[in-house]
């Protein structure tokens, strides 16, 4: 169970994606390994608003979303807590988007479609 | 078979995702140049793109194929292609395939800055779509859960 920490508690995740199916796929990949998806947001603004009351060990962040995109949401969350681990999860992986994500302090990038092992290993590297 | 430059990245991304994400067996059929009409097999995902290229991608398949595709994505069984999760799965698949293809195009031709528009999903037998001012190309991909047609139209393409 790679999603369980040394103290026996689960590694917690906030899944931010405008697609409910994508959020379901994230849960399907992580929960069998013991990770707990404790919060879900459908756009960047919801994620930033939710961040005031919900702290997860890691945030998976889609890029293209309505209202506020994932890059702006990541910047807003990093402004509140620079140490918050964030993984960008997107089907768009242009070099300029990746460079922008790095400039904003996003810790790692995982392209869609992702394999469960790939996202799990990326989470374990930054948590 | 040689694909035209507009269709090739989308076909490559579709095959990759049908195989790697959904675990389907795939092989490609012939390329069909289309002119002004496109007739659906029953379930259609449409996603536009804008920027250096303007056009749209269509993924079209029978409704049974769409339900199996959605089941492969979510792990749930479905009995109707009109189920909200089947529609959302098609939208997400279109987004991923379109995103992967556009990424390849943008990285190989810096400056194009192509971006996707939000996807739409339609269901209905024999629905005909008309392409104004643009020709399109299609490739039929045969999978073990049914045929998937990839159709790409780019403004200004031959």
Return the SS3 of B16.
Answer: helix
Whether A113 sits inside 8 A of B74 (CB atoms) is: no
Residues of A with CB under 8 A from a CB of B: 19-22, 24-25, 28, 64, 66, 90-96, 111-113, 115
Contact residues on chain A for B20, CB-CB shorter than 8 A: 113, 115
Shortest Cα distance, chain A CAs vs residue B10, angstroms: 13
Q: What long-range pairs does A63-68 form, CB within 8 A, spacing at least 24?
A: A63/A88, A63/A90, A63/A92, A63/A97, A63/A101, A64/A18, A64/A90, A64/A92, A64/B95, A64/B99, A64/B115, A64/B116, A65/A16, A65/A17, A65/A18, A66/A18, A66/B118, A67/A43, A68/A43, A68/A44
Closest C-alpha to B148, from B22, B4, B6: B22
B contact test, residue of A17, A20, A21 with most B CBs within 10 A: A21
**From A25, A92, A113, residue closest to B103, measured CB to CB:** A92
Contact residues on chain A for B98, CB-CB shorter than 8 A: 91
Contact residues on chain B for A25, CB-CB shorter than 8 A: 73-74
Phi, psi (rounded to 5 degrees) for A73: -65, -40
Spatial separation of the C-alpha atoms in residues A28 and B19, rounded to whole Å: 19
**β-strand partners of B47:** B57
pLDDT band at B34 (very low <50, low <70, confident <90, very high): low
Tell me: the pLDDT tens digits for A76-122? Answer: 999 999 999 999 999 988 888 999 999 999 999 999 999 899 999 99
Shortest Cα distance, chain A CAs vs residue B70, angstroms: 9
Q: Can you give the pLDDT at residue B1?
A: 42
Q: Is the whole model's pTM more than 0.95, yes or no?
A: no
Tell me: the pLDDT tens digits for B135-151? Answer: 788 889 999 999 999 99
Gyration radius of chain A's alpha carbons: 13
Spatial separation of the C-alpha atoms in residues B25 and B27, rounded to whole Å: 7
- Rounded mean pLDDT, A11-28: 96
Q: What is the ipTM metric for this complex?
A: 0.86
Determine whether B116 is exposed, middle or buried from the number of CB atoms within 10 Å of its CB (0-12, 13-18, 19+).
Answer: buried
- Rounded mean pLDDT, B27-49: 81
Q: Can you give the pLDDT at residue B128?
A: 85
Q: DSSP strand E in chain B: where?
A: 26-34, 37-39, 43-50, 55-61, 115-116, 120-123, 128-130, 136-143, 146-154
- Rounded mean pLDDT, A52-73: 95
């Amino acid at each position: 169970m790679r999603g369980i920490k040394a103290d026996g508690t689960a590694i917690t995740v906030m899944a931010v994606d405008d697609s409910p199916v994508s959020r379901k796929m994230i849960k399907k990949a992580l929960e069998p390994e013991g990770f707990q998806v404790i919060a879900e947001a459908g756009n960047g603004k919801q994620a930033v608003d939710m961040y005031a009351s919900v702290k997860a060990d890691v945030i998976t962040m889609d890029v293209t979303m309505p209202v506020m995109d994932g890059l702006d949401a990541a910047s807003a969350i990093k402004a509140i807590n620079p140490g918050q681990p964030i993984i960008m999860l997107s089907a768009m992986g242009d070099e300029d988007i990746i460079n922008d994500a790095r400039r904003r302090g996003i810790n790692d990038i995982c392209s869609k479609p992702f394999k469960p092992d790939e996202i799990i290993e990326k989470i374990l590297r930054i948590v | 078979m040689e694909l035209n430059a507009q269709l090739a990245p989308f076909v490559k991304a579709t095959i990759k995702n049908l195989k790697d994400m959904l675990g389907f067996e795939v092989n490609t059929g012939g390329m069909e140049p289309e002119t002004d009409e496109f007739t659906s097999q029953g379930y259609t995902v449409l996603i536009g793109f804008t920027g250096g290229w303007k056009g749209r991608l269509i993924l079209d398949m029978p409704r049974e194929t769409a339900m199996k595709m959605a089941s492969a994505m979510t792990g749930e069984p479905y009995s109707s292609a009109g189920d909200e999760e089947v529609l959302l799965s098609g939208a997400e698949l279109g987004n991923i395939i379109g995103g992967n293809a556009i990424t390849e195009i943008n990285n190989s031709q810096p400056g194009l800055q192509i971006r996707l528009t939000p996807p739409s999903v339609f269901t209905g037998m024999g629905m005909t779509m008309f392409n104004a001012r643009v020709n399109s190309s299609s490739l039929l991909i045969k999978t073990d859960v049914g045929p998937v047609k990839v159709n790409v139209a780019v403004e200004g393409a031959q």
